[in-house]
């Protein structure tokens, strides 16, 4: 089986690795691997603290992926010798004022109604868990099993693991889809050459709809949703675990890494393919982060970046076959692509190789957006 994958973000990279493990000859096409959202993302693995009403199937997918992460990271380390910065030390979600605390209490009731373990903490208990928190923090929730990974370590590890199994990386832009006898036949590159394949996976993040030659009804309904993040550095431990905060109704999070990096994120902006970093975006992040953790103003500034989340109409990924035989989608992972990489790769590789697909992935078929009866 020859498989061509367009896009080497975490979704394309992880699927390439799994498909190669399944015996496929895989070609990854990307002019700049992991240059999209996968290099900007904070890497939170937080299905529980990110839970939203009406997104229960996405929660189940997120929990399934989070629960595979430890083994996934260990397998990658074993295959490549590379560390992904995976941590499973929980996520603390804190409330700045009484209204924020009410929101967290409602969230806790919702989480408990779904049988998800979370621990409610008083303000004092929050500060015991994270001593740098501001004295005024009102209370919080601890999701003990959520964690984080460093996407900038994860992507190179996935690429190395794939290459060890023979995945071929073509550093060119995919210009169009090759279609022959009403089926996908490969990828047309921007230099006019072709990558022939039995099956093509479109995993180009928010750019997935841009390919020439996509038949009507197969163009994925994805759009870019901009996010700005700040990276700071600290020589001494500042935070023990991922800490998310609600500050007067506005959300902010901080993700610490073992090497001293702290990622503060993230804005959520509907501005098309704009990746400018703005004064207003950074100000909002720093303002809210400082309310929660006043001492962070002493930390060294390292970097600001903006990336584009591949958003879909229902905030959930599109994974599976399209109306064109041989063409598959693996996109629309929006805020959760790093979290969802292990389960998505398992599901997509199974679909591409006609293997058993994890049941938890069934609700995410692109068919839910296809025109006509389903």
* Size, binding site for ligand FAD by CB under 6 A: 42
Cα separations (Å) of 166 from 10, 33, 111?
A: 18, 17, 43
Query: Which position among 5, 16, 17, 33 is part of the footprint of ligand FAD (CB under 6 A)?
Result: 33
- The greatest distance separating any two alpha carbons of the chain, rounded to the nearest whole angstrom, comes to 67
Q: How far apart are CA 4 and CA 26, in angstroms?
A: 6
Contact of 142 with 129, CB cutoff 8 Å = yes
Length of the chain: 374
For the bound state, the minimum distance from the C-beta of residue 55 to ligand FAD, rounded and expressed in Å, comes to: 14
Site string for ligand FAD, 155-184 (x = CB under 6 A): ------------------xx----------
Q: Is 29 in the site for ligand FAD (CB under 6 A)?
A: yes
- Helices 151-164 and 10-21 meet at what angle, rounded to 10? 30
Q: How far apart are CA 291 and CA 243, in angstroms?
A: 13
Reduced to 3 states (helix: H, G, I; strand: E, B; else coil), residue 309 is strand
Q: Is 335 in the site for ligand FAD (CB under 6 A)?
A: yes
Name the segment binding ligand FAD (CB under 6 A); options: 136-144, 233-241, 289-297, 303-311. 303-311
Query: Which position among 17, 72, 96, 207 is part of the footprint of ligand FAD (CB under 6 A)?
Result: 207
For the bound state, the minimum distance from the C-beta of residue 259 to ligand FAD, rounded and expressed in Å, comes to: 17
Site string for ligand FAD, 251-290 (x = CB under 6 A): --------------xx------------------------
> Of residues 211-230, which lie at the interface with ligand FAD (CB under 6 A)?
227, 229
309-344 burial code (b ≥16 CB/10 A, e <16): bbbbebbbbbbbbbebebbbbbbbbbbbbbbbbbbb
For the bound state, the minimum distance from the C-beta of residue 318 to ligand FAD, rounded and expressed in Å, comes to: 10
212-227 burial code (b ≥16 CB/10 A, e <16): eebeeebbbebbbbbb
Q: Residue 287: CB partners within 8 Å, gap ≥ 6? A: none
For the bound state, the minimum distance from the C-beta of residue 111 to ligand FAD, rounded and expressed in Å, comes to: 19
Contact of 93 with 370, CB cutoff 8 Å = no
Query: Which position among 5, 16, 36, 326 is part of the footprint of ligand FAD (CB under 6 A)?
Result: 36
Q: Is 11 in the site for ligand FAD (CB under 6 A)?
A: yes
For the chain, helix (H) and strand (E) counts, in that order, are 7, 19
For the bound state, the minimum distance from the C-beta of residue 128 to ligand FAD, rounded and expressed in Å, comes to: 25
Q: Residue 156: CB partners within 8 Å, gap ≥ 6? A: 34, 82
Q: Is 10 in the site for ligand FAD (CB under 6 A)?
A: yes
Contact of 278 with 266, CB cutoff 8 Å = no
Name the segment binding ligand FAD (CB under 6 A); options: 85-93, 113-121, 327-335, 361-369. 327-335
Pull the structure tokens for residue 293. Answer: 């953790």
* Choice between 32 and 367, CB closer to ligand FAD: 32
Q: How far apart are CA 332 and CA 61, in angstroms?
A: 14
* Choice between 43 and 366, CB closer to ligand FAD: 43
Name the segment binding ligand FAD (CB under 6 A); options: 139-147, 284-292, 331-339, 352-360. 331-339
* Choice between 10 and 101, CB closer to ligand FAD: 10
* Choice between 95 and 343, CB closer to ligand FAD: 343
* Choice between 12 and 139, CB closer to ligand FAD: 12
Residues interacting with ligand FAD, by CB under 6 A? 6-12, 29-30, 32-38, 40-44, 173-174, 203-205, 207, 227, 229, 265-266, 307, 309-310, 331, 333-339
């Amino acid at each position: 089986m020859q498989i061509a994958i367009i896009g080497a973000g975490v979704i394309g990279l992880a699927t390439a690795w799994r498909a190669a493990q399944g015996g496929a000859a895989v070609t990854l096409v990307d002019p700049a691997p992991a240059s999209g959202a996968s290099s900007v993302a904070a890497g939170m693995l937080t299905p529980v603290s990110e839970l939203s009403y009406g997104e229960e199937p996405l929660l189940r997918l997120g929990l399934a992926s989070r629960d595979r992460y430890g083994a996934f990271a260990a397998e990658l380390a074993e295959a490549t010798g590379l560390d992904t910065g995976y941590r499973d030390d929980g996520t603390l979600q804190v409330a700045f004022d009484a209204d924020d605390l009410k929101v967290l209490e409602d969230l806790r009731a919702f989480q408990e109604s779904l049988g998800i373990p979370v621990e409610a903490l008083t303000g004092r208990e929050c500060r015991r868990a994270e001593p740098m928190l501001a004295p005024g923090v009102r209370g919080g929730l601890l999701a003990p099993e959520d964690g984080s990974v460093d996407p900038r370590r994860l992507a190179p590890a996935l690429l190395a693991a794939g290459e060890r199994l023979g995945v071929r990386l073509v550093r060119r832009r995919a210009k169009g889809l090759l279609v022959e006898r009403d089926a996908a036949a490969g990828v047309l590159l921007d230099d006019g050459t072709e990558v022939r394949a039995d099956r093509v996976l479109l995993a180009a993040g928010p750019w997935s709809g841009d390919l020439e030659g996509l038949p009507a009804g197969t163009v994925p309904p994805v759009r870019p949703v901009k996010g700005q993040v700040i990276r700071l550095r600290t020589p001494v431990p500042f935070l023990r675990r991922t800490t998310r905060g609600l500050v007067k109704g506005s959300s902010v999070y901080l993700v610490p890494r073992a090497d001293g990096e702290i990622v503060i994120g993230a804005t959520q902006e509907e501005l098309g393919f704009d990746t400018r970093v703005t004064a207003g975006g950074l100000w909002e992040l720093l303002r809210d982060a400082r309310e929660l953790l006043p001492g962070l103003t002493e930390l060294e500034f390292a970097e600001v970046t903006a990336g584009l989340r591949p958003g879909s109409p229902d905030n959930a990924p599109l994974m599976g076959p399209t109306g064109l035989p041989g063409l598959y989608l693996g996109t629309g992972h929006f805020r959760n692509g790093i979290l969802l990489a292990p389960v998505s790769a398992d599901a997509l590789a199974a679909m591409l190789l006609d293997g058993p697909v994890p049941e938890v992935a069934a609700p995410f078929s692109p068919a839910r957006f296809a025109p006509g009866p389903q």
